[in-house]
Structure 1
Amino acid sequence: MSLHYIYDPLCGWCYGAKPLVQAAQTVLPVIAHGGGMMSGANRQTVSPHLRNYVMPHDRRIAEYTGQPFGEAYFEGLLRDESAVFDSTPPTAAVLAAEQIAGRGLELLGRLQTAHYVQGRRIADEAVLFELATGLGLEPQMFQAAFEQVDTDRHIKESRALLAKVGGQGFPTFALEQDGQFTLIDIGPWLGKPEAFAAWLRQSLPTQASSSEFKACGLDGCAP
């Protein structure tokens, strides 16, 4: 049995679900799939419009999940109109870390903290390389893997998996057992990682349930 996690590094609800991912990893293999929410034509330069759009959304995520959002993010990065939000470079970094050391999810967690707490530009290669080497990854190996990964193909495959399992956006979690996928509603578990891990240990869901949790859409998050 494995847990498929379809995410985006710039998805606020994915950051909100970070403790659930970490808890799940203590129970079963977790396979990450980057969905490219802000890749290609959807990449955006930070602007007052973007800031006003995401601020209430992020504050809701903080309230609902207990995840911290830093002033360096709210009052720094979200006011830096030279910054670009682009999902492709950080997704490539996660793929590279997974390829060379099996540590993609660990790097993703660091990228999420860098973005939402420290207000860093995680679409910038210099930041990505610094965080990767800070994790202990060998710089030249990481750079070579980063430059060679086929991120566009990965995103297409992630979108195909999202459609296959019936997910509506990011994050989407689906358990796979014997080739069969079961979609999980993580809404009841947000902010409760230990309970989520216990639930994973004891049973498989028979069907997706409903909650107040609203995933980020394929092209962005909405308040």
Structure 2
Amino acid sequence: MVLHYIYDPLCGWCYGAKPLVQAAQAVLPVIAHAGGMMSGANRQRVSSQLRNYVMPHDRRIAEYTGQPFGEAYFEGLLRDDTAIFDSTPPIAAVMAAETVDGRGLELLGRLQTAHYLEGRRIADESVLLEFARQMGYAGEAFLAAFQSVDTEQHIKASRALLAQLGGQGFPTFALERDGQFTLVDISPWLGKPQAFAAWLGQSVEVNGAGESPALCGLDGCA
């Protein structure tokens, strides 16, 4: 049995689900698929409009999940009108880490913390390489992997999987068993990673996700 995780690095609800992903990894394989929520035409420069749009959602995510959001994010990054929110560079970094040694989800977790707690600009290549080195990657080898991954094709395949599953946005989780997929509604488990891991460990049959409040749309967190 495998848990598929369709995410975006700039999705607040995906950050809220980070402890669930980490707990799940102790139970079964987790395969990450990046959806490119703020890639291409959807990349945005930070502005007062963007800040006013995301802050209420982020505060709700913090309340609902217990995940910390830092002042460096709210009062630093979200006020930095030179910063760009672009999903593609961090997706490429996660794909590179996965290619090198299978630690893509570990790097994703680090980048989520960097963005939402530390207010770092995770669309900047220099920042991505900094965190890769902190995780022990050799700079040149990681950069080569980073530059060689095909993010466009990966995002296209991830969105095709999302459509196949009937998922509505990010994050979407689905258990695959013997080639059969079952959507997992994570909303009852947010803030309860150990309970989620125990549930997964019992291999409980799941009967669809239904409406979940823990969701970012395909083009943004609403």
Report how far residue 192 of structure 1 moved. Answer: 0.2
Give the Cα separation in 2 of the matches to 1:21 and 1:209. Answer: 17
Aligned partner letter, 2:16:
G
Give the Cα separation in 2 of the matches to 1:88 and 1:149. Answer: 11
What is the SS of the residue equivalent to 1:91?
A: helix
Give aligned pairs, total: 222
Partner of 2:159: 159
Report how far residue 69 of structure 1 moved. Answer: 0.2
Contact in 2 for aligned 1:184/1:205 (Cα 8 Å) = no
Aligned partner letter, 1:177:
R
Report how far residue 91 of structure 1 moved. Answer: 0.1
TM-score by length of 1: 0.98
Partner of 2:208: 208
Aligned partner letter, 1:159:
R
Partner of 2:39: 39
Partner of 1:197: 197
Give the Cα separation in 1 of the matches to 2:78 and 2:19. Answer: 24
Contact in 2 for aligned 1:101/1:137 (Cα 8 Å) = no
Q: Where has structure 1 moved over 3 Å in runs of 4 or more?
A: 209-212
Report how far residue 203 of structure 1 moved. Answer: 2.6
Q: Give runs of aligned pairs for residues 20-59 of structure 1, distance below 5 A.
A: 20-59=20-59
Aligned partner letter, 2:145:
A
Partner of 1:89: 89
Contact in 2 for aligned 1:187/1:211 (Cα 8 Å) = no
Partner of 2:13: 13
TM-score by length of 2: 0.98
Give the Cα separation in 2 of the matches to 1:31 and 1:204. Answer: 19
What is the RMSD of the two structures over their aligned residues, measured on CA atoms?
A: 0.9
Aligned partner letter, 1:156:
K
Partner of 2:4: 4
What is the SS of the residue equivalent to 1:176?
A: strand
Deviations 1:134-183 (A, max 9, x none): 01111111000000000000000000000111110000000001110000
Contact in 2 for aligned 1:115/1:121 (Cα 8 Å) = yes
Give percent identity, aligned residues only: 77
Report how far residue 212 of structure 1 moved. Answer: 5.2
What is the SS of the residue equivalent to 2:113?
A: helix
What is the SS of the residue equivalent to 1:213?
A: coil
Gaps (5+ residues) in structure 2? Answer: none
Gaps (5+ residues) in structure 1? Answer: none
